Amino acid sequence: MHNKTDAVEALLNLPFNDLLYRAQCVHREHFDANSVQLSTLLSIKTGGCPEDCGYCPQAARFHTGVENEDVLPLATVLEAARAAQANGATRFCMGAAWRGPKEKDLAPVLEMVRAVRALGLETCATLGMLRAGQAEQLQQAGLDYYNHNLDTAPEFYGAIISTRDYEDRLDTLEKVRHAGLHVCCGGIVGMGESRRERAALIAQLASLDPQPESVPINNLVQVEGTPLYGTEALDPLEFVRTIAAARITLPHSRIRLSAGREQMPEAVQALCFLAGANSIFYGDKLLTTGNPETQRDRALLEKLGMCTA
């Protein structure tokens, strides 16, 4: 792993223009350089989570103002999925603030997956750790992607989360892959990690075999009440470098410019697309925090001459 981390760190250390040129070349070899894929998120079960992820506004133990809500009714989910589709999204991602689904939790999610898939949208779910058999049940219901992030480097992980370990995450990813689901797996930067640790995260993602089809790169959204609130913000150009390094090392993956876009100037987003990002979360909300309005995003894509995949 160290060799791989060294190699990614060497990329991150390149002069900015050299790094972006290399990323853009790799990007053009594998993708239409002007195309972006749009995924819309919906929180189907908000708040009250027993885990202690230091970045997350939905952990019950942090006082962030996010209330513990019940699972949304199917009709509400379908209404949101129809709206997402009408706005131009191609993938609908359903997130739940669970450590993982209990057996009784899964049935309503399977209904949602069937119904959303029937609309002709790609389906994605992010429900936490999976137990034996659950990935297969989701796959049979028509789930296309399962999102489960490594979040950060193994060596920084313990500073962010104590209620589950890195191996648990790799284990769930293994179950997802084994069930024949597409893997969506990425991480968060801007949590106070070093450049070396960002390199180690990317090296881990690139070492998954096969590599994940989708790789969300989140910039920490700082929420008051979470332990990471007040962390020094990452330099935007360092965020762009991280995207470029991900593009070069994950040449076939959709790299998603994920959380943190609302706080990001258009010029920085444009640099991220130049660095090889070719997917975004699209819709006015992420799970509990804001995202650019769809109209604003459409205007930005128009301005950049980008089309949707």
Q: Which residues are catalytic?
A: 49, 53, 56, 93, 124, 184, 256
113 neighbors 137 (Cβ within 8 angstroms): no
Tell me how far apart the alpha carbons of residues 278 and 255 are, in angstroms, rounded to a whole number: 6
Q: Strand 35-45 and strand 91-96: pairing?
A: parallel
**Containing H/E element for 302?**
helix 294-303
Look at the alpha carbons of 224, 97, 219, 187 in this order and tell me if their dihedral is positive or negative. Answer: positive
Rule CB under 6 A: is residue 97 a binding residue for ligand SF4? Answer: yes
> Which partner from the list ligand SAM, ligand DTB, ligand SF4, none does 292 bind, CB cut-off 5 to 8 Å by kind?
none
Beta carbon nearer to ligand DTB, 24 or 172: 172
DSSP 8-class letter at 212 = P
Tell me how far apart the alpha carbons of residues 50 and 284 are, in angstroms, rounded to a whole number: 27
38 neighbors 308 (Cβ within 8 angstroms): yes
Burial class (CB in 10 A: 0-12, 13-18, 19+), 67: exposed
Beta carbon nearer to ligand DTB, 20 or 280: 280
> Which partner from the list ligand SF4, ligand DTB, ligand SAM, none does 271 bind, CB cut-off 5 to 8 Å by kind?
none
**Containing H/E element for 11?**
helix 2-12
Rule CB under 6 A: is residue 187 a binding residue for ligand SF4? Answer: no
By CB under 6 A, the residues from 161 to 220 that bind ligand SAM are 188, 218, 220
Beta carbon nearer to ligand SAM, 26 or 208: 208
Rule CB under 6 A: is residue 46 a binding residue for ligand SF4? Answer: no
Of positions 42, 44, 56, 243, contacts ligand SF4 by CB under 6 A:
56
> Which partner from the list ligand SAM, ligand DTB, ligand SF4, none does 261 bind, CB cut-off 5 to 8 Å by kind?
none
Tell me, what amino acid is at 153?
A: A
- Find the shortest distance in angstroms from Cβ 121 to ligand DTB: 16
Of positions 56, 113, 199, 274, contacts ligand SAM by CB under 6 A:
56
304 three-class SS: coil
Q: By CB under 6 A, which span of 91-99, 102-110, 197-205, 238-246 interacts with ligand SAM?
A: 91-99
Nearest to 148 by CA among 99, 82, 198, 86: 99
Count the residues in the chain.
309
Tell me how far apart the alpha carbons of residues 45 and 265 are, in angstroms, rounded to a whole number: 30
Q: By CB under 6 A, which span of 49-57, 180-188, 189-197, 269-277 interacts with ligand SF4?
A: 49-57
Beta carbon nearer to ligand SAM, 27 or 256: 256
Query: Which residue ranges make up the site for ligand DTB (CB under 6 A)?
Result: 41, 57, 95, 126, 147, 149, 186, 216, 218, 221, 258-259, 286-289
Of positions 23, 31, 36, 51, contacts ligand SF4 by CB under 6 A:
51
> Which partner from the list ligand SAM, ligand SF4, ligand DTB, none does 300 bind, CB cut-off 5 to 8 Å by kind?
none
Tell me how far apart the alpha carbons of residues 180 and 140 are, in angstroms, rounded to a whole number: 10
Beta carbon nearer to ligand SAM, 24 or 186: 186
197: left (phi over 0), alpha (psi -120 to 50) or beta: alpha
Residues that bind ligand SAM (CB under 6 A): 55-56, 95, 97-98, 126, 128, 148-149, 151, 188, 218, 220-221, 223, 259, 287
